[in-house]
Structure 1
């Protein structure tokens, strides 16, 4: 299991467009990828679950990848977050 923490920088937080892109990125991997923040947890492959977390600018989240390709998955998620959020 691999994890990293990230603080949301986007002034709108995780809204529809980046959430959709996040789901698309997460579905490239076999590993189970989860986001945890605001006292909530969601699978990265489920758009409505991510949107339901209500993550705003400044929110700290923990992203976890567990599975066969967890190293590649966590690296891709970290790169995605830094580039888009």
Structure 2
């Protein structure tokens, strides 16, 4: 795992703290959000997710591992083919 910058760790902590109002804490969604808002950090999603999980576990709140479906996922679930 690549070490995360103190700034990125602070952003992760803030995102988890903000998510505590909506239980359970969706760690995948938070990691995706943090990564998309901090492209300059150039950190792997898995490394961000690991840190988000560590921070979320310290809260004692329930944790959820669920990503939001993409447009392609929704189309596939609805039986639509993306290839014509």
Question: What TM-score does the superposition give when structure 2 sets the normalisation length?
Answer: 0.31
* CA radius of gyration, larger in: 2
Name the structure where strand makes up a greater proportion of residues: 1
Name the structure where helix makes up a greater proportion of residues: 2
Higher relative contact order (CA 8 A, sep 6+): 1
